[in-house]
């Protein structure tokens, strides 16, 4: 095991996969300058052919990466921040997600899109979106949302090896998180959830960076005799439905924590799944802890409590258990 930060985990995953497979290359704005600190010495090690700088044109370079993937390359697209995906929405939806189906399986697009989410930093509405659920609704895309350095490294490596397009949503509030990560080729398969904390009274399914707040809430709830099981799906598409349903059938209660806007959120999809498949196991209504359906304000005091917090999670669990 080696202690890694969130940023170290990205570096390790990219370096290992680029070393393993010469078809893997990075493309995006300012990638040659290591602007986030996660690609040190990559230009020196891999050269400018495999660390490709682009103009400020997401539609252009994401479309170019799609073409490269169709002819056998395995691009890793750095879109700088997740909302910039909107600029390339036509490329992602009309080409990347659909081409395998449109061409009857004759084309595949083994590409990975890194979509860092910079919210909670007073960057206002255009830069603070967390579009996990938006892209989850599009068939043909696989979606991962890691919550710790080990999962980030393992899922990013798995994404790069996938023969289908994968979007990796990275919660940059976790940049300073540290964790022991296995050395070597530790790949975490997509579609396998992780039980971060076992419990018997209520299931808390937490998405991406909200896992940290959910674990904090579970620790405080335990002092009052409430045992919360915290599940991290890790991958949203495919989703480990079996793990969630099994937990709810044990605890009989469900709280879903999601940084997305509440309407049509990931939390909504998981809630619908449990309502359809495990309704008779429930002893209380399902609760969602999400972000209100408003644009994110620039004002630091207004933004501070808009996302799921440990206090909001604890309150939802207490109400559900009561």
69-113 pLDDT per residue, tens: 999 999 999 999 999 999 999 999 999 999 999 999 999 999 999
Predicted confidence band at 305 (pLDDT cuts at 50, 70, 90)?
confident
Predicted confidence band at 183 (pLDDT cuts at 50, 70, 90)?
confident
What is the DSSP code string of 2-26? EEEEHHHHHHHHHHHHHHH-TTEEE
Q: Which two tokens stand for residue 234?
A: 């890790």
Residue the block writes with tokens 């994110």: 296
Tell me, rounded to whole angstroms, the distance of Cα 311 from its chain centroid: 23
pLDDT of res. 184: 85
Residue 282 has pLDDT above 90, yes or no: yes
pLDDT of res. 194: 98
pTM, two decimal places = 0.96
Active-site residue, 127 included: yes
Best CA proximity match to 128, nearest among 302, 255, 4? 302
Predicted confidence band at 35 (pLDDT cuts at 50, 70, 90)?
confident
Q: Tens of pLDDT along 200-228?
A: 999 999 999 999 999 999 999 999 999 99
Q: What is the mean pLDDT of residues 147-176?
A: 97
Three-class SS state of 207: coil
CB atoms closer than 10 angstroms to residue 189? 11
Q: What is the mean pLDDT of residues 140-154?
A: 98
Q: What is the mean pLDDT of residues 118-123?
A: 91
Q: What is the mean pLDDT of residues 286-298?
A: 96
**Whole-number Å distance between alpha carbons of 56 and 74:** 21
What is the DSSP code string of 283-309? SS--EEEEE-SSPPPS-HHHHTTTS--
Best CA proximity match to 252, nearest among 228, 234, 269, 235? 228
Residue 4 half-sphere exposure, CB side, CA atoms within 13 Å?
22
Task: Write out the residue limits of the CATH 3.40.50.920 domain(s) in the chain.
Answer: 194-321
Cis peptide before 104 (omega within 30 of 0): no
pLDDT of res. 291: 97
Report the CATH fold assignment for 194-321: Rossmann fold (3.40.50)
Domain made up of 2-181: CATH architecture: 3-Layer(aba) Sandwich (3.40)
Q: What is the mean pLDDT of residues 176-191?
A: 94
Three-class SS state of 189: coil
**Whole-number Å distance between alpha carbons of 277 and 213:** 27
CB atoms closer than 10 angstroms to residue 238? 14
- The one catalytic residue in 35, 127, 252, 295 is 127
pLDDT of res. 198: 98
pLDDT of res. 82: 97
Q: Which two tokens stand for residue 214?
A: 């959910």
Residue the block writes with tokens 């530790």: 186
> Does an H or E element contain 212, and which?
helix 210-222
Sign of CA dihedral 86, 88, 90, 91: negative
pLDDT of res. 185: 92
Q: What is the mean pLDDT of residues 253-260?
A: 98
What is the DSSP code string of 81-150? SGGGGGGGHHIIIIIITTHHHHTTTS-----EEEEEE--SSS-HHHH---THHHHHTSTT-EEE---SHH
Task: Write out the residue limits of the CATH 3.40.50.970 domain(s) in the chain.
Answer: 2-181
Q: What is the mean pLDDT of residues 31-36?
A: 93
Percent of the chain with pLDDT over 90: 97
């Amino acid at each position: 095991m080696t202690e890694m930060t969130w940023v170290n985990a990205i570096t390790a995953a990219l370096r290992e996969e680029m070393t393993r497979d010469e078809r893997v290359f990075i493309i995006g704005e300012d990638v040659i300058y290591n602007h986030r600190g996660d690609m040190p010495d990559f230009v020196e090690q891999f050269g400018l052919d495999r660390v490709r700088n682009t103009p400020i044109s997401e539609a252009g370079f994401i479309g170019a990466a799609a073409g490269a993937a169709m002819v056998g390359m395995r691009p890793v697209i750095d879109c700088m921040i997740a909302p910039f995906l909107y600029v390339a929405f036509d490329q992602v939806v009309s080409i990347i997600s659909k081409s395998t189906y449109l061409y009857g399986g004759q084309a595949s697009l083994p590409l990975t899109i890194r979509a860092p989410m910079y919210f909670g930093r007073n960057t206002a509405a255009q830069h603070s979106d967390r579009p996990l659920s938006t892209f989850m609704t599009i068939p043909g895309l696989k979606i991962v949302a890691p919550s710790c350095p080990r999962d980030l490294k393992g899922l990013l490596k798995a994404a790069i090896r996938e023969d289908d397009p994968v979007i990796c949503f990275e919660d940059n509030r976790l940049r300073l998180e540290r964790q022991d990560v296995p050395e070597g080729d530790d790949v975490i398969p997509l579609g396998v959830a992780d039980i971060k904390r076992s419990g018997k009274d209520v299931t808390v399914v937490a998405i991406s960076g909200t896992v940290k707040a959910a674990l904090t809430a579970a620790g405080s709830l335990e002092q009052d005799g409430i045992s919360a099981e915290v599940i991290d799906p890790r991958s949203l598409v495919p989703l480990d439905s079996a793990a969630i349903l099994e937990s709810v059938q044990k605890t009989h209660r469900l709280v879903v924590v999601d940084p997305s806007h509440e309407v049509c959120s990931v939390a909504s999809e998981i809630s619908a799944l449990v309502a359809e498949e495990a309704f008779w196991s429930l002893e209380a209504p399902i609760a969602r802890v999400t972000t209100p359906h408003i644009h994110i304000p620039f004002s630091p005091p207004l933004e501070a409590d808009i996302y799921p917090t440990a206090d909001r999670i604890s309150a939802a669990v207490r109400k559900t258990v009561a």
